[in-house]
């Protein structure tokens, strides 16, 4: 069960799946992960689609409690717990599964309805199938039509920059060379499939040719642990120094495009929160965009757009005067951006002039970018409060102190 880039669930790995299974036609294979097997799968007396609802119950129990309902010291003991048989082989007296008291009565009721050892009594095994579960009080607040149309915001949205991002997968697997599974050899009459089919390749020139004025390829947005930063970029002069990091200008060797790189000392500051927030929300037009991340030894390199327009305060000081109308436009842009962050449960905690920069020299309020998310936090506590004292003294709110 995986999450896509929006946080919606996708079912994967259908290697053990079986088609055309119903109450009349059963499967007898002993396969699966033991802890999630239904009793009828373990005892090999034949199982139907009802076995999935038992596994669904195991998954639900694990998500709500953090532990498995049936788990012994080995496979044999686990299967014994699932079947509830004694050493002599006779079925033991049916004992109720112990339910943690912190679970709601609705959750306990649904779990007990799913953990029926007789599959015909199990919720979801009737003629209505999954509709039986959807009508259960535990799901009373769910609008199933909106859920199906993906109109309900998931409770967790992964911090990824694109659908193909492998940030959450171990490099042990992502660094391997992909191998195609061997296909089924074509039959002798396979060429008949293409009878009457023709194809004419498009001309090499014209509108199908990439424009010479098209933008350069963007730097891959992924965590690079196996590639050195200096293999891809050339470091230039420093453009800023912070408590835990230094910011420098850098040039991509392949495209010759200029960027800024924030070099963080991991022994002084954990950058994982900042990286996650930038990857998740850096697509906003007024939040600095994270282009690339490299990890080398004790340093993490965060490659971002180069803010050529400089800091907000420096720009104000360079002008002869800064009108109230101009200030209003700047504050309006900042307000919209902060409102967006707050709506996503993010608090910046270090808003100050040096962290508000222009991406270009135009001075347009829309070219403003909020930068430096080193103290930012994704709210997770139920009461929404943050207890970590991180701030710049002159700009800190009283409740942080």
Residues at the annotated binding site for ATP?
A: 262
State the Cα–Cα distance between residues 105 and 132, nearest whole angstrom: 18
User: Residue 188 gets which letter from DSSP?
Assistant: T
- Euclidean distance between CA atoms 349 and 347, whole angstroms: 6
Burial class (CB in 10 A: 0-12, 13-18, 19+), 132: middle
Half-sphere exposure of 193 (CA within 13 A, CB side): 6
Residue 229 main-chain phi, psi, to 5 deg: -55, -40
Closest by CA position to 106, among listed 146, 78, 136, 76: 136
List the binding residues: 262
The pair phi, psi for residue 295, each rounded to 5°, is -125, 120
**C-beta of residue 363 within 8 angstroms of C-beta of residue 326:** no
Residue 4 burial by Cβ neighbours in a 10 Å radius (0-12, 13-18, 19+): middle
In this structure, what are the phi and psi dihedrals at residue 247, rounded to the nearest 5 degrees?
-110, 130
- Residue 130 C-alpha from the chain's centroid: 27
């Amino acid at each position: 069960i995986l999450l896509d880039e929006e946080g919606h669930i996708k079912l994967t790995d259908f290697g053990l799946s079986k088609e055309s299974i119903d109450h009349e036609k059963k499967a007898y294979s002993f396969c699966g992960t033991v802890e999630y097997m239904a009793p009828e799968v373990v005892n090999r007396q034949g199982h139907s689609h009802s076995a999935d609802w038992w596994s669904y119950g195991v998954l639900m129990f694990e998500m709500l409690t953090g532990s498995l309902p049936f788990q012994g010291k080995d496979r044999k003991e686990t299967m014994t717990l699932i079947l509830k048989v004694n050493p002599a082989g006779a079925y033991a007296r049916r004992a109720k599964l112990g339910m943690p008291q912190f679970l709601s009565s609705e959750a306990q009721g649904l779990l007990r309805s799913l953990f029926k050892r007789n599959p015909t009594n199990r919720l979801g095994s009737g003629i209505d199938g999954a509709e039986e579960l959807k009508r259960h009080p535990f799901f009373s607040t769910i609008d199933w039509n909106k859920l199906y149309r993906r109109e309900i915001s998931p409770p967790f949205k992964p911090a990824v920059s694109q659908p193909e991002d492998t940030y959450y997968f171990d490099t042990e697997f992502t660094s391997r060379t992909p191998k195609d599974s061997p296909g089924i050899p074509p039959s002798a009459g396979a060429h008949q499939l293409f009878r009457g089919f023709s194809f004419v390749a498009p001309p090499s020139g014209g509108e199908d040719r990439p424009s010479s004025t098209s933008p350069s390829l963007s730097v891959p947005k992924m965590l690079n642990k196996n590639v050195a930063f200096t293999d891809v970029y050339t470091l230039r002069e420093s453009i800023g120094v912070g408590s835990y990091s230094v910011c420098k200008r850098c040039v991509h060797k392949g495209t010759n495009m200029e960027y800024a790189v924030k070099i963080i000392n991991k022994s002084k500051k954990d950058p994982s929160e900042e990286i996650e927030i930038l990857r998740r929300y850096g697509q906003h037009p007024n939040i600095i965009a994270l282009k690339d991340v490299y990890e080398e030894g004790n340093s993490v390199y965060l490659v971002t757009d180069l803010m050529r327009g400089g800091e907000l305060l420096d720009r104000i000081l360079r002008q002869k005067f800064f009108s109230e109308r101009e200030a209003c436009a700047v504050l309006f842009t900042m307000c919209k951006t902060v409102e967006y962050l707050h709506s996503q449960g993010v608090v910046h905690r270090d808003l100050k002039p040096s962290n508000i920069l222009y991406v270009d020299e135009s001075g347009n309020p829309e070219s403003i970018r909020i930068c430096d998310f080193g103290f930012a936090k994704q709210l997770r506590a139920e009461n929404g409060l943050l207890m970590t004292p991180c701030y710049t003294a002159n700009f800190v709110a009283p409740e942080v102190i």
